[in-house]
Structure formats: structure tokens, C-alpha cells
Structure 1
Amino acid sequence: MTALPVTVKWLLLACLSLALGAALEYAGLPAALLLGPMIAAILMGTNGARLALPKMPYMAAQALIGCLIAQSLDKAILQRFMQEWPIFLGSVLSVILLSSLIGYIMARRQVLPGTTAVWGTSAGAASAMVVMADAYGADARLVAFMQYLRVVCVASTAAIMAAFVFQVPGGHPPAFVLFPPVDWPDLALTILAVAIFAMIGNRLRINAGTMIGPMVGMALLNGTGLLTIELPEWLLALAYTMVGWRIGLAFTGRLLRHAAKALPRVFLSIVILIGFGGILAALLTHFLGIDPLTAYLATSPGGLDSVAIIAASTKVDMSFVMALQTVRFLLILALGPSISRFIANRIKT
């Protein structure tokens, strides 16, 4: 794989992504257009492909995913949060507390060198945690490994659960149309507005600004009726592919070998977080009567864009899922680095 020309590697990755995505879509697996490219990229990356997705395509994909989220961020989201804020805050803060405790334990037991585990176990804001870890002297490669492994596990588990555990008996998934009729003026306005809000978010130098900018800006425009969001499936498929490649290509063979000794305990920490999310979902279903799949996707620990893709392809209460996931994402961005620094300081003292 290493000796192949770069152009051939990208072509091979594209073909493999298309084949796996089509196979998973044919099998009826939610988020197939994300998982297919992600699996293909992992296979390529761990076999010496040495490819890295350029910054601009990933930023564009983030912006489109932000726009996808914005379609469900209407007044119902705010109303839902105001009505049920104790549930949202309780669920999110409990996940943050558990992930922080796991990171503290792993760091104290020297499962990974230094404070790497503290940054790696944060249940969200993966890119921010990698940057903070590097600035604080931790091994950013291992933090990236832990964070992206969590995203892969959460996205894959959520997709599998949606497809095989919560599937309604006898139900049929909606027909998949890659090239539906398009309102071209609305599409042009959507792309223009998304690009502007992405640039604003990037200029503000906030974490994930290229996603948060379009998410907030397009939600305002869509909610006030000033703009109708038009996102054809083929455009979203390109965005899903970029997200999948970004995650998958981070898994190089060297990185996997470097983390081999810690892998069982890292994986166990991820399983604990996923399991805890499942417990929260069961509690929401039992005590509040929330649909099981809605509750599971809402409490899934990480991967806002991945969960948005899965939720968009299943019959769930999208406003509840995205409200809880958005609160978790924003709180991780606000509190995660401070909590990690606090724990890291306590470990060093």
C-alpha cells in the first residue's frame, strides 16, 4: 500500500468507500454513508496508506453537518430544553462526571503516560481535547487514538442498535434516493449561507466553529422563515464521506501498535461510557415514557455529527435527540478543558 501513488490510494479509498457504503445501505444499516467510508479509511490507514484528508473538505463537511443539525434546531428545541432542562443537564453532567472519573483512575494507575488518559476519556469535543493535550504535554497521538476510537465505537454501536435492536418488526426503511428533485435556487442560497456562517465561525476561533457557525446561523434563518434549507442526499453523502475519512484515516498502523498495550483498558472505558449512556436511556424510557431509540441516541456519549446522521435516517424524536446532544456538545466545549486541567493538576501534585 505504501508504494502506491497517492492518486491511486485516493481512488482505491473512494472505490472501497463506495462499495462498503452501498453494501451497508443495501443491508438497511443507518448511517451507511458514514460508516462505509469510515471503515474503508480505517482499513487503508492501518495498512500503510498514509493519507490525510485536507483541511478544507473536512471544514466543508463540518459546515454541512452543522446545517443538517440546524434543520432540527427550531423553537421546539429551545422549548424542549426549557421544559425539561433538569433532565438534559442531569444526563449530560453525569456523563461528564463519569468520563472525568475514568480518566482520573486511568491516569493515577499509569495506564497511559502522563495525563494522556485525562484528555482521551472526555466524552466529546475530540479535536479540542487533542489540542489541549498537546499544549499540556500529553501524548496527542494517544489522545487522538482514544477520542477517535470512542467516536467509531459510539457511531457503530448506535447505528447497529438502531438497525437491529430497536427496529420495528415488519417495518421497512424509507426508500433511499441519492438524487432527488432539487430546488436549485434554495440549494444555492443554502450553500452560500453555510459558507458565510462557516467563515464567521472560523474567524471567531472557537472550537468546531465551522460547524457551530452554520448550526446557529442556519437555525436562525430557517426558524424565522428567511431561508428554506435544501440539502439533497448526494450533497450530504459527500459530507458523510469526509467525516468518515477524517475519523478512519487517523487510525494508522503505527498509532495502533503504539496503543496496543492500553487497548483493552481503553476499550473498557469506552464500553463503560456507552453502557452508562444505555442506562440513562433506559431510565428516560422507564420513568418518562420516551421512545427507546430516541432515548438511546440522545444519551449516546459523543459524536454529535454521527448521531445527527443516524437520527436523520431513523424514526425518532429528532428535537429531543438533538437538544440533548447539543447541550452535551456545548457543555463539553465549555467545561471539558477546564475539568481536564483540574484533574491533571491534581495528578501532578
Structure 2
Amino acid sequence: MQTPLAVRPSRFPVFQWLALVICAGAAGQSLHALSVPAGLFLGPMLVAIVFAVSGARLQLHRQVFRFGQGCVGLLVAHSVSWSVLAALGQSWQVMLFATFLTVALSALVGLGTVRFGGIPGSTAAWGTAPGAASAMVSMAEDNGADARVVATMQYVRVVCVVMIGSVVSHLLGADEVAGAAASAPEVVDATQWGDLLLSLAVILLGVTVGAKMPAGALLMPLLLGAALQLGGVLTITLPSGVLAFAYGAIGCYIGLRFDRQTVRYVWKRLPTMIAGAVALILLCAGGAWLLAKAVGSDFLSMYLATSPGGLDAMAIIAVETHADVGMVLAMQTLRLFGVILTGAWCARQIIRLTRA
């Protein structure tokens, strides 16, 4: 009578993992095909949440999560070019001020979600930080915040940013933005095996070297990849399958950590998260309008440059709407570094203010 019971725990996880991989992959590809923002991440995360809430006792190893972050970092590094650095050098004062303004507005919204939404200070600080979502989730976890709620807040804002960005682009007479949720095509479809192997080596080296750094799994592959690309040593190559695995790994890692209590908590506070995301977008849009008037730039380019969304999504919208791509990438990249380097300090200040 004891033998079958002893075998069940070793068999069930195999079928559960197989079902999770199939369902997560199908969900991610379906949302991606429908051009849903961050669909390759959201699909696997939602499926993993369903599995976790249903009682599946599965846990994805943290190193797989870190590898996914490294892929995202290298994808961002692909956007770093000499033209982006030139744009940064020409208008560094404006970009630095815009970065400070966006971070300050996000802190203000974070305080509002604590006071009026009942979200803990540490979670609100990381959830409203305008950096790369996966980096903010990792740093939130390292600093003791609830990574599950932070991930929900970050990706609710990503969806709102891309949707509103598409509407703004359309209203301003720009071309229709249909692929804002997709990844950069020249990165995804490349097939050079030498560059692919070197790109994977950069990810693995960066993840290893950055093991003890804040968001090091994302930041070190970004720095190494950008340096090698600028030096002409590497043409960053990440096929669509690798990127799909990376986003899926991040989504499943986060989703499997949910439980019924967390789902109820997030559901009750979802209106607050959406309101906070929209408020931050509107505040950043107001700042973009003032900056555009001050420096003589077009509003769409400045809006995309200061928008608190993902760098890759904003870059794609900028390309497809014929905005100033160099300025958008430069400001988004500068803010990414700024948030990663100062995120922990800003979070501590928000926590201190909310306690006071």
C-alpha cells in the first residue's frame, strides 16, 4: 500500500512541468500574436499563477530566472549605438533633468499608492519605479519586498504605457503602431551561429559576474554586450526562441510564487495599480510637453523618451512612428541605469516617508 504513494511525488511533477511548459508556451505565443504588450511574459505568468493557485507544487530555479534577465539585458544592449551615445552627449543636461523628473514623479505616485491604496511602502516603491520591470522585480526581491505584487504593478503599467502610447501616436497623426509588443526584428530573426554563441557566452558571463550586484543579472550582460557591440567585436544575436524562453522563464518564476492569498490581495488592489499607472503616465506626459516646449523638440519624441514603459517597446513605437529614435533610446537607457543604480536608495526614502 505504501509503494504507489511513494512513487506519486516523483511522477506528478514531470507531468505538471510538461503541462506548464505547453500551456505557458501556447499562452505566450497567442498573446504575442495578438500584439498584447509583454505577451511573451504575461501569458506564461498567468498560466503559472493558475497552476500555483490550483495546488501545483512547482518551483523554477532562480538561475533560470537570472538567465532570462541576462537575455533581456543583452536585448537592451542591442539598442546602444554610437548614435545613441552621440544624442546623449549633445543633450545630456535635458536628458538628466528628464530622468530626474520621471524618477521623482514615480516616487510621488508611489507615496500616493501607499497612502490611498493600502499597498506597503517597500512594495509600492519598487512597483512604481520607472525602470526595466524584470530588474525592478529582482531588486525588489533582493530588498525584501513582495516580488509578486511588484511584478503585477510593473506589468500593469507596461500594458497601460504601450496602449496609451499607441493612442497618442495615432492622435498625433503618426503611423499606426501595430507591433509595439514585439521584440526588435533584427535581433530576433538573426541566424549567425558565431554571434549567437558569443551572445550566449556574454549572457552567462554577465550573469555570473553580476551575481552579487543589484540587478547584476540584467546590468552586466547589458554593459558587456554594449561594449562589445560598440567595439565591433559582437553583433548581438538572439533568436525568437531564446527570447521567448527568457520571457517565459521570468513569467513562470514569478507566477509560480503566487498563492490564493496573494491573488486575492492583488485583485482587491488592481484598481489602485491601474490608477497609479495612469497617473504616472499623465504626469510624465505633462513633463514631456513642458520639456518639448523648452528645447524645441516634437512632443511625440519627448513623450516616448520620458514615458515610464519598457525600453524595447518604446524603441519600436519610436521607429514605427518616425520619432527621434536616438533621443528616445538615449533617455530610456539613461533612466534605466539611473533607476538601477539609485533604486534601492529611492525605495528606502519612500519607505521612510510612509512610516513617518
For normalisation by structure 2, the TM-score amounts to 0.76
Return 36-45 or 146-155, whichever deviates more.
36-45
- Structure 1 partner of 2:154: 151
Q: CA RMSD in A?
A: 3.7
- Asked if 2 retains the 8 angstrom alpha-carbon contact of 1:73 and 1:319, the reply is no
Look up the equivalent residue of 1:240 and give its one-letter code. Y
The residue type equivalent to 2:217 in the other structure is T
Matches of 2:349 and 2:228, distance apart in 1: 39
Give, in angstroms, the shift of residue 95 of structure 1. 2.3
Q: CA deviation at 1:127?
A: 2.6
Of 76-85 and 112-121, deviating more is: 112-121
- The reply on whether 1:323 has 2:327 as its aligned counterpart is no
Partner residue in 1 for 2:230: 223
Partner of 2:200: 191
Shift in CA distance, 272/5, structure 1 to aligned 2, threshold 3 Å? farther
**What count of residue pairs does the alignment treat as equivalent?**
333
1:30/1:163 contact within 8 Å kept: no
Partner of 1:10: 17
Q: In the superposition, relative to structure 1, how do residues 70 and 114 fare at CA in structure 2: closer, same or farther (>3 Å)?
A: closer
Identity over aligned pairs, percent:
30
**Structure 2 matches for 1:1-349, cutoff 5 A?**
5-29=12-36, 31-107=38-114, 111-112=118-119, 117-118=124-125, 120-124=127-131, 125-132=136-143, 134=144, 140-141=145-146, 144-161=147-164, 166=169, 182-202=191-211, 205-259=212-266, 261-281=268-288, 288-290=296-298, 292=300, 295-301=302-308, 304=310, 307-308=311-312, 311-312=315-316, 315-316=319-320, 318-348=325-355
Counterparts of 1:176 and 1:119, CA distance in 2: 30
TM-score (norm 1): 0.77
Do the aligned residues in 2 keep the contact of 1:70 with 1:218 (CA within 8 Å)? yes
Distance 1:146 1:279 in 2: 28
* TM-superposed deviation, 1:177: 10
Partner secondary structure for residue 190 of structure 1: helix
Aligned counterparts of 1:325 and 1:166: Cα–Cα separation in 2: 18
Instruction: Please give the per-residue CA displacement for 1:289-311, whole angstroms capped at 9, x wherever unaligned.
Output: 4473x555433325x4xx42663
Is the alpha carbon distance of 1:116 and 1:199 closer, same or farther for their aligned partners in structure 2, counting shifts above 3 Å? closer
**Partner Cα distance (1:106, 1:27) in 2:** 31
How far does residue 235 in structure 1 lie from its aligned partner after superposition? 1.9
Distance 1:182 1:122, change over 3 A: closer
Report the Cα distance in structure 1 between the residues aligned to 2:252 and 2:39, rounded to whole angstroms: 13
Would you say the 8 A contact 1:162–1:314 is kept in 2? Answer: no
1:119-174 CA-to-partner distances (Å, cap 9, x unmatched) read 55434433323433x3xxxxx33xx3442122211222344446666466678769
From the superposition, tell whether residues 198 and 113 of structure 1 become closer, same or farther in structure 2 (CA, over 3 Å): closer
Q: Is the 8 A contact 2:37 2:159 kept in 1?
A: no
Superposition deviation, residue 222 in structure 1: 1.0
Cα distance, 1:5–1:130 mapped onto 2, change above 3 Å: same
Structure 1 distance, partners of 2:268, 2:96, is: 36
CA contact (8 A) 2:206 2:220 kept: yes
Distance 1:93 1:178 in 2: 30
- The change in CA–CA distance for 1:115 and 1:29 in structure 2 (over 3 A counts) is closer
Unaligned stretches of 5+ in structure 2?
1-8
Q: Match of 1:315, as an amino acid?
A: V
Contact 1:30 1:313 in 2 (8 A): no
Q: Tell me the equivalent position of 2:3.
A: none
Distance 2:117 2:262 in 1: 19
**Unmatched 5+ stretches in structure 1:** 135-139
